[in-house]
Amino acid sequence: MLRNPIAVKIVNSSSNPLPAYATVGSSGMDIYAHITHPLSLLPFERSLVSTGIFVQIPDGYELQIRPRSGLALKQGITCLNSPGTIDADYRGEIKVLLVNLSAELQTIEPGSRIAQMVLQKVEKISWLAVENLDETTRAAGGFGHTGLL
C-alpha cells in the first residue's frame, strides 16, 4: 500500500492499461508501446515509440523514463538518453527512445512493456559564484582516480 501517493493527472489515449507498480516495493511503473503494428528494429537502430499517455507533473517533480531490465537482457533493447527527463511543464505525449543493441533484428509488439517511469523530486539550484572551492582529499581526481576503473 502506497503511503500518501502524489496525485498526477493523466490522459490515456491508448487501449493499454495505465502505468502501474508491479509490486509493493517497485519504484518504477511499466509503460506500454502504443503502436498499431509490430515495430522491427535492426541492430543498432533506434526509434521513438509512442505510449499514448499525457501527464501533468506537479511542480517540483520530474518523470524519469528508464530501461526495463528484462527487455535489455532478453532482446538487447534499451532506452537512449537514459534516464529521459520529462519536465513538469511538458504536456505532450510521452514517447520512449528505444535502441536495439543486439546483433539481431528485434520486434516490439503493440502493447509491449517498453520502459519504466519514475516520479522524482527535483531540487532547484541557486548559484553562489566564488573564486575557489573547499579542498578535499580527492581534489580533482576523476575517472579511475580511486583505482576502481
Rg, C-alpha atoms of the chain: 19
Q: Which domains are present in the chain?
A: 9-121 (2.70.40.10)
**Tens digits of residue pLDDT in 25-75:** 999 999 999 999 999 999 999 999 999 999 999 999 999 999 999 999 999
**Tens digits of residue pLDDT in 94-129:** 999 999 999 999 999 999 999 999 999 999 999 999
Strand boundaries in 13-131, DSSP class E:
20-21, 29-32, 39-41, 46-50, 53-56, 61-66, 77-79, 84-86, 95-100, 106-108, 113-121
pLDDT confidence bin for 147, thresholds 50/70/90: low
Tell me what the pLDDT averaged over the chain comes to: 93
Residues 36, 122: Cα–Cα separation, whole Å: 35
- The label of the residue with cell 491508448 reads 14
**Tens digits of residue pLDDT in 69-89:** 999 999 999 999 899 999 999
Contact 42, 103 (CB under 8 A): no
- Distant-in-sequence, close-in-space partners of 24: CB < 8 Å, separation ≥ 6: 1
